[in-house]
Amino acid sequence: MPSYNHHRFQFVRWSIYLILILAYISVYFHRMAPAVVASDLMATFHTSATELGSLAAMYYYIYTLMQLPAGVLADTLGNRLTVTVGNLVAGLGSILFGLAETLEMASLGRFFVGLGVSVIFVGLMKSNTLWFRERIYGIVSGMTLLLGNLGSVLAAGPLAMLLEWWSWRTIFVAMGGFSLFLALLSILFVRNRPEDAGFPSLREMAGESAHAEREQHWWHDLKDVLGNTSIWPGFWINFGMAGGLFAFAGLWGVPLLQDVFQLSRGEAATYTTLTLLSMAISTLLSGWVSDHLSLRKPVVLFSASVYALAWLALILLPWQPGPLAMLLFVLIGITGGGFVLTYPCAKEVTAPALSGMAISVVNTGLFLGAAIMQPLFGWVLDLTWGGAMRDGIYLYSWDNYQNALWLMFAFAMVALLGAMRLQETHGQNLTLTQASA
């Protein structure tokens, strides 16, 4: 076993993780913030629900298109350069969004935010595969999603409170400055793998041979990953479960509670905060339970099943703001968090050197789902809108929202079908197991 300074290794590993996780928190903030500032955006740019959905989804459009390139970049150029440039582009995009005077300029800013942050998650998860052992990868993935979701929580209730003192423009310009600061930290301190920081690889630390490097051009590797049928169930789980949940909590949940039940922005944001906080906790618990049982599929299948039932309850039960509504919003979040296991599953059915591409494939499903759902939800609202307005803002009834919520249930059923097709890995990399056999 090679000698190395264990304490220094821990310091370097967790320093890199901290920088990357701060960048990931900003990803979630930008993803979910439109829900709380929806009324401000509609009033500022005089938009309908469909136009607002398209503005918010601009982030998801480019994020979706960038997921496969993000995986390629993580596996070729490495996390350090990829995440640095991502933070730089996202920071400039957020500043542009905050200063925008027209809907077109705001959409462009949102586009650059999505472009920049699109590489951060895959880079972070790729980094985790190289800095953390496989036996704890499930719980590390859960912890990553838990901490990242702090950005979602900050973009709900806390953001609503900040809007009492500062304008939405000031907040987005400040977030842009934060991303630029993270770009500086990334280039200075992040390293792609332990060997780049003067340490042996994790396998060498354990007395094992290092993983094989990539043996062919990345294009052939990408074709191999895309042709791996064991990866694709995770894509559909993310499409239906996480994609729908992020679209609702990230845009339409707050307007629903404001329009139908006349809650204030802060009161409405409390409910989506509960959803996002529940999802964050669930990602950690799902990873821990899965690692503890050495099982992936049963945990995901249970989560997807109850998640679909939770949407059905939200649509059909005669709920009002209060304990029952809070329970339903919590149930949606805590069951939706099971999607986190699609990432270790993708890694465990793929050669280790290609883990970034595999993770990017399943992650594409999440953002494609959200990109489709956000404007589609708004289109259904506009389709049955009765013409009510207040202060230049479109108002929608419960019947309008109920029609759109059936889309959420349909997406949940897609996730359930994907969970049924998921391959069980027992927390082991199947490509290494097969090679040993």
Assess whether pLDDT exceeds 70 at residue 369.
Answer: yes
164-173: long-range contacts at Cβ-Cβ below 8 A with a sequence spacing of 24 or more? 167/40, 168/37, 168/40, 168/41, 168/98, 169/98, 169/99, 170/98, 171/98, 172/33, 172/94, 172/95, 172/97, 172/98, 173/94, 173/95, 173/98, 173/99
Task: For 294-343, write each residue's pLDDT tens digit.
Answer: 899 999 999 999 999 999 999 999 999 999 999 999 999 999 999 989 98
Assess whether pLDDT exceeds 60 at residue 436.
Answer: no
pLDDT of residue 432: 63
pLDDT of residue 161: 86
pLDDT of residue 343: 87
Contact 242, 31 (CB under 8 A): no
Task: For 252-292, write each residue's pLDDT tens digit.
Answer: 898 899 989 999 878 888 898 899 889 888 988 888 898 88
pLDDT of residue 245: 93
205 — pLDDT class (breaks 50, 70, 90):
confident
Alpha-carbon gap, residue 130 to 143, rounded angstroms: 16
Question: Residue 179: left (phi > 0), alpha (psi -120 to 50), or beta?
Answer: alpha
pLDDT of residue 210: 57
Which amino acid type is present at position 53?
G
Task: For 213-241, write each residue's pLDDT tens digit.
Answer: 555 566 777 788 888 899 999 999 999 99
CATH domain 15-193+219-436 topology: Growth Hormone; Chain: A; (1.20.1250)
Mean pLDDT of 160-166: 87
Over the chain, what is the mean pLDDT? 87
Alpha-carbon gap, residue 393 to 255, rounded angstroms: 11
Assess whether pLDDT exceeds 90 at residue 192.
Answer: no
Of 122-136, 235-249, 278-292, 422-436, where does mean pLDDT reach its minimum?
422-436
Contact 95, 30 (CB under 8 A): no
- Output DSSP code: residue 156: T
Task: For 16-53, write each residue's pLDDT tens digit.
Answer: 999 999 999 998 888 778 778 888 888 888 887 778 87
pLDDT of residue 117: 92
Mean pLDDT of 368-377: 88
Instruction: Give the torsion sign (CA, 234, 153, 115, 72).
Output: negative
Higher pLDDT, 217 or 363: 363
Contact 193, 50 (CB under 8 A): no
Assess whether pLDDT exceeds 90 at residue 430.
Answer: no
Element (DSSP H or E) covering residue 271: helix 265-293
Task: For 83-116, write each residue's pLDDT tens digit.
Answer: 999 999 999 999 999 999 988 999 899 999 999 9
184 — pLDDT class (breaks 50, 70, 90):
very high
Alpha-carbon gap, residue 219 to 216, rounded angstroms: 8
pTM of this structure: 0.74
pLDDT of residue 154: 81
HSE at residue 398, side-chain half, CA atoms within 13 A, is: 10
**Buried/exposed code over 249-286 (b: 16+ C-beta within 10 A; e: otherwise):** bbbbbbbbbbbbbebebbbbbbbbbbbbbbbbbbbbbb
Higher pLDDT, 346 or 31: 346
The full set of domain ranges for the chain reads: 15-193+219-436
